[in-house]
Amino acid sequence: MLYVVPRFAIYSDGPVISARLFRGLGTGYAAVSDTSVNAMAVRRLLGIDLKVIDDPYRALRDFGAVLVIGDDALRMVDAGYPYILDVGELWRERVGLPLVYAVMAVTRNYDEEELNVVINTIEKSLYLFEEDPEPVIQYTAGRLGVSRELIRQYFRAIRYRVDDRVISGINEELRTFGINNCLRFLGNKT
């Protein structure tokens, strides 16, 4: 059993840009091997089966649509690859809640003092980023070889601080994905 720390998560509340179902030239559906939340969302909301692939660029020749996430998705967006849907946008339209990609979790026997150090460190880092995101935007755009404006849009789409809507989103994901018995919230948030 893991316990969610209801302070920080990585989520979107609408289009996320970095998780899209791109239009391919073949037939059928595929998803990159390193996706889980996005693939489950697409499977459950659209009722389609996704074949797991490793090379999204090659898969676009073989499949009618390919779910790509992360750096490759951002590169494809920047290059103008056509897409069918943005997973964060699909989730928001169908479910009406944020789509949570990652949570902060601890095991049952966590050390509260160590957890507070981690929380405070994340809070300081997040504050510094929010005060001046340009160095991170510049670095990320350079590392990926994409436009700074795209990275600005991406960072505006991603959220980190947890509120009641995010907790509702987590609970809805767990229910929708059929995995609602593996997490609990610290502080009895259900």
Tell me, what's the pLDDT at 14?
Answer: 96
Tell me, what's the pLDDT at 178?
Answer: 86
Measured between alpha carbons, how far is residue 19 from residues 110, 119, 184 in Å?
32, 27, 27
Could you tell me the pTM of the whole model?
0.91
Q: Are 101 and 11 in contact (CB under 8 A)?
A: yes
Q: Are 87 and 38 in contact (CB under 8 A)?
A: yes
Angle between helices 134-144 and 70-79 (to 10 degrees): 80
In sequence order, the 6+-apart residues with CB closer than 8 A to the CB of 12 are 88, 92, 98, 99, 101, 157, 158, 159
Tell me, what's the pLDDT at 190?
Answer: 46
Tell me, what's the pLDDT at 182?
Answer: 65
Tell me, what's the pLDDT at 82?
Answer: 98
Tell me, what's the pLDDT at 181?
Answer: 67
Helix (H) or strand (E) holding 168: helix 164-177
In sequence order, the 6+-apart residues with CB closer than 8 A to the CB of 130 are none
pLDDT, tens digit only, all 190 positions of the chain: 788 889 999 999 999 999 999 999 999 999 999 888 999 999 999 999 999 999 999 999 999 999 999 999 999 999 999 999 999 999 999 999 999 999 998 988 889 999 999 999 999 999 999 999 999 999 999 999 999 999 999 999 999 999 999 999 999 998 999 886 666 777 654 4
Tell me, what's the pLDDT at 109?
Answer: 87
Separation of alpha carbons 100 and 112, rounded Å:
24
